[in-house]
Structure formats: C-alpha cells, structure tokens
Chains A and B, each alone.
Chain A
Amino acid sequence: MKCPEQLIDYMHEYLDDEITEEHEKILREHLQSCTDCQEYFRELNKAIALVQSTSHIHAPDDFTSKVMAGLPKEKKRTGVQRWFRSHPLLTAASLFLALMAGSILTTWNEDHQFSVSKQPNLIVENDTVIVPEGEVVKGDVVVRNGKVKIEGEVQGNVTVINGEKYMASAGNVTGEITEVNEVFEWIWYHIKKTVKNTANLFDHDEKEQSFQ
C-alpha cells in the first residue's frame, strides 16, 4: 500500500467517533479512489462487527447464592447488636419468652393464691389489702389475686395483678398505678421490665467488649 500512513490513523479516529471534519473529508475522498484502503477499512469494521456479534451470555443461576455463601461471616457482635438496635422490643420479648416465660407462666398457674408485698403498715383483711387512712406506705405495693383499698398514701407504684383497686378520695399514690388482669398483660408487663434490663445489659456488654 502506497497510501499516506495517517489514513489508518484517521480510520481509527473515525471508529472512536473522534474524527475532525477535516480528517473525515480527507478519508472519504481517499476511500472513493483507493480500493486497498476500502478493503482495509472494511476489514476493520468487520472485525468489530464480529466481536460485537458474540451473543450476550448470562451468569449461572446459582451465581448470587454462591457469592453470598463465599462472603466472610458477619462478626457475631455486629450482627447481634444491629438486630438488637433495630428491634429492641422484639429482642426483649424473645429473650423473655425463651428464658423466663416458662418459669413465670408456671408461677402464674400455680400461684393463684393471694400475695402482697411486705410493708409493715399495710392491713390485710382476707383478700383485701388496705392502705389505712393517715398512713404513709413507702415503696412499691404489689397485690396478686386480691383487692387493694387505698385510703392513705403510697410513696411508690401500685401494681394489682388479677385483682381490683379501690381508691378513696383521700387516697394518694405518688408513682404509677398498674392493673394487670390477663395473662398476656402479665407477660407484657414483664417484657417491658425486661426491655429496660436488656438495654442495660447490652450497653454494659458493649463497653466491656470494646476493650478487647
């Protein structure tokens, strides 16, 4: 081929979509008169077309599952912590159910008798607990399977489980009054308690682990 060498450069510029108008004009004019260069240009285009004609192939069906199986295992701590952070209540609930439900439900079933927290100035008549008028009861009062009559003052929370509560007009409770009448409410009451405890437990855990 006795053609100027730049012509091949122009062909590549053309194929890269980067040819100037001037070069394109020179290339076109030359191709009209030179069969060698025509053939050369045809061969280049043919090679590209053949490479582009190779059919698109797909990854095997189990590709993604194989990749996922090959990933390094998540660090346990990160996994547990993330799960705990995004589902604090569920975490507590499942911990509670797994570890404690058995024993508490047993208590629930067996312990259908009357019980009350021990404070010296509480009066107990049959299944009724009385906070006497003019008396101040310090600390939380918990009554199970019985009634509570509040005529005096309770400096703390009052919890009535499967029972009833009578509040006299003079009665006063500084904390929260909670009535639990169903077994599920009873469980729920414990779950909420467990949430607070697990939250503390996990915070504590994390601090300890960060020193490792």
Chain B
Amino acid sequence: METIVKHRIKQVIKGDQNAYGEIVEVYKDKVFQLCYRMLGNRHEAEDIAQEAFIRAYININSFNQNLKFSTWLYRIATNLCIDRIRKKKPDYFLDAEVPGTEGLTMYSQVPSETPLPEDEVESLELQDTIQKEISKLPDKYRSVIVLKYIEELSLNEISEILDLPLGTVKTRIHRGREALRQQLRHV
C-alpha cells in the first residue's frame, strides 16, 4: 500500500492533482476516525479531517518521502484536532445535562427516526458512554490512547506522529489508561 501511495505522491508533486484523490481514498476512514474519537463529534471530525488532507496537499513538498506518508498525515490531523479542542468554546455541548431531566442528555432526547432493537440501543448507548469518557481525557492523553487503541499503532509510530520521545509517549499512555480505568470501571 505504501508503495502505491509513494508513487501517487510523486505524481502529486509533479502537479497531478487527480492522483491525490486516490491518496484520500486510502486514508479517509482512518483520518476521519482519528478526528472523530479526538473530537467526539461527526460534523467537526469531517471538518478537521478534510482540513488535514488539504494541508497535507498544500505542504506536500515538505513531506520527507523516506518516511511513511500515514505518519505525516496523522501528525497533521492530530495537531489540528488538538488545536480545535483547545479553541473549543465550552458554552454548548450536545451532551450537557438539561435542567430537570437528570440523567437524560440532550443527545438522548434527539428523536431517532426508526426505533432500534433493544440490544442495538444498548450497544449504541455503550458506545456513546465510551466516547464521552474518551472525550473527558486531557488532549495529551486522549491523542496517545486514540492512536494506540483505536488506530492500533505501535509506540514507535505514535512517538513519530506526536514528535515526542518514546518515554513520554509511554508515560502518557500509562496515565491515560489509569484515567480510563477509573472512568470506565463501573460501566
């Protein structure tokens, strides 16, 4: 896969914009998922994931072709997510509790169009809970946890993506796991 991608990158550098479409196809799901788990919101995730691909295209000349393209792309996406998290205004959250409806969130009050089977509802609720707990992690722990357990990357790759020493990555993963242990123990 990396070989095809490298070939496409050379074409893009020569000015062939269409070759970039194939690169987007290869990585779109992974980048979108990374952004979604970082931001906890589909709309924002789409926004940032698209921005990441556009930035990668604009800066393609600064990409070191000896490295993995995915590493570089994930770095751009992760940095954009962290920027977005830090700039986020805390005045409105879809999952904020509505007064007088303890336990119910605005999210669960949004009517769904078709009723789902009970176990699917349960599974969706569990998914929401897990995502909410991931979203509660400070961004420096959130990024390593998402890269390790959702994107399933090695510690070395994570250290390259985040441009951090391996030791720092390990420490952050340990702290992230500790936080999640406490948050998810009663789920």
Q: Please indicate the chain A residues that have their CB under 8 angstroms from the CB of B74 in the complex.
A: none
Instruction: Compute how far the CA of A46 lies from the CA of B149 in the bound complex, rounded to whole angstroms.
Output: 13
Instruction: Compute how far the CA of A91 lies from the CA of B36 in the bound complex, rounded to whole angstroms.
Output: 46
Instruction: Compute how far the CA of A43 lies from the CA of B149 in the bound complex, rounded to whole angstroms.
Output: 16
Number of A-B contacts (CB under 8 A): 103
Asked if A109 CB lies within 8 Å of chain B CBs, one says no
A177 to chain B, nearest CB (A): 42
Instruction: Compute how far the CA of A12 lies from the CA of B46 in the bound complex, rounded to whole angstroms.
Output: 34
Q: Please indicate the chain B residues that have their CB under 8 angstroms from the CB of A53 in the complex.
A: 126, 130
For this complex, 20 residue pairs linking A to B, each with C-beta atoms less than 8 Å apart, are A16-B155, A48-B177, A50-B126, A51-B130, A51-B134, A54-B131, A55-B127, A57-B36, A59-B29, A63-B28, A63-B46, A63-B50, A64-B28, A67-B21, A67-B24, A67-B53, A67-B54, A74-B17, A78-B15, A82-B16
Interface residues in chain A, defined as those with a beta carbon under 8 Å from any beta carbon in chain B: 9, 12, 15-16, 40, 43-44, 46-48, 50-60, 63-64, 66-68, 70-72, 74, 78-79, 82
Cβ A51 vs Cβ B58 within 8 A:
no
Which among A40, A63, A66, A78 has the highest number of chain B CB atoms within 10 Å? A63
DSSP class of A's interface residues: helix, strand, loop or mixed?
A: helix
Q: Please indicate the chain A residues that have their CB under 8 angstroms from the CB of B131 in the complex.
A: 54
Please choose the segment from B81-89, B96-104, B178-186 that sits at the chain A interface, where 4 or more of its residues have CB less than 8 A away. B178-186
Which bracket fits the contact residues of B? 35 or more
Closest to B175 in A: A12
Q: Please indicate the chain B residues that have their CB under 8 angstroms from the CB of A40 in the complex.
A: 181
Cβ A68 vs Cβ B24 within 8 A:
yes
Q: Please indicate the chain A residues that have their CB under 8 angstroms from the CB of B69 in the complex.
A: none
Instruction: Compute how far the CA of A146 lies from the CA of B46 in the bound complex, rounded to whole angstroms.
Output: 71
Cβ A74 vs Cβ B15 within 8 A:
yes
Asked if B49 CB lies within 8 Å of chain A CBs, one says yes
Instruction: Compute how far the CA of A53 lies from the CA of B25 in the bound complex, rounded to whole angstroms.
Output: 24
Cβ B184 vs Cβ A12 within 8 A:
no
Give the 4 A-B residue pairs with the shortest CB-CB distance, closest first. Answer: A59-B32, A47-B180, A59-B28, A47-B184
Instruction: Compute how far the CA of A80 lies from the CA of B17 in the bound complex, rounded to whole angstroms.
Output: 13
Cβ B149 vs Cβ A48 within 8 A:
yes
